[in-house]
Amino acid sequence: MATVLDIDRVKVIVGIPETDVDAVRKIDRFEVMIEALHEKKISGSKNFLAVAPESQAQVYRLELEVGNKSGEILPGMFARVEIIKNEFPEALTIPLYAVISRDNKHFVFLEEGNVAKLQEVSLGILDGWQIQITEGLAPGQRVIVVGQRSVDADQKLNVVKKVTHPAEITR
């Protein structure tokens, strides 16, 4: 006896914490990353979301359907699913390490005319190593991201390098 599997379309099973169920209800397409395929990203569509948790861990079963015409995805492969609950395309973000916290307040040092200016800021959403600034900073202001813990307010600066993207810091 032989078993034939049709893997042109595969099912991805995800455990959703109850805190995310409402957001997941509103989403139809998800980005699925298959670790064994070098983090290959594939779009998946929602097939089913359970109405009751499956375990004591309070996770709800989400089934996604993913196209697999190439046959690359095999049964049992591990996948990660990215769930984007909110997007803020106009958000102002800076590297988290640029923020200095003192007495339950948050500050950054700005470079204005080769002088360090201490600026209080309000923090928003953390995304990896980037933090959203909701108040206290405007687009185009230059935040000191290297050496900021070694300067004082109103100190003259010797700007060695100006960057527009965090990846440029290491270049």
CATH class of the domain whose range is 9-82: mainly beta
What was the pLDDT predicted at 94? 92
- The residue type at 45: S
Average pLDDT score over residue span 6-10: 84
Residue ranges matching CATH 2.40.30.170 in the chain: 9-82
3-class SS of residue 128: coil
What was the pLDDT predicted at 11? 92
What was the pLDDT predicted at 127? 81
The whole-chain average pLDDT of the chain stands at: 88
What was the pLDDT predicted at 135? 96
Distance CA 94, CA 169 (A): 13
Average pLDDT score over residue span 24-38: 90
65 vs 6, higher pLDDT: 65
HSE (CB half, 13 Å, CA atoms) of 20?
18
* pTM assigned to the model: 0.57
Helix (H) or strand (E) holding 23: helix 21-25
Was domain 93-170 assigned CATH 3.30.420.40?
A: no
Positive/negative CA dihedral, 149, 150, 153, 157: negative
What was the pLDDT predicted at 111? 94
Over residues 87-141, the pLDDT tens digits come to: 788 889 999 999 999 999 999 999 999 999 999 999 998 887 889 999 999 999 9
Which of 48-52, 68-72, 136-140, 163-167 has the least mean pLDDT?
163-167
Residue ranges matching CATH 2.40.420.20 in the chain: 93-170
Residue 171, pLDDT > 60, answer: no
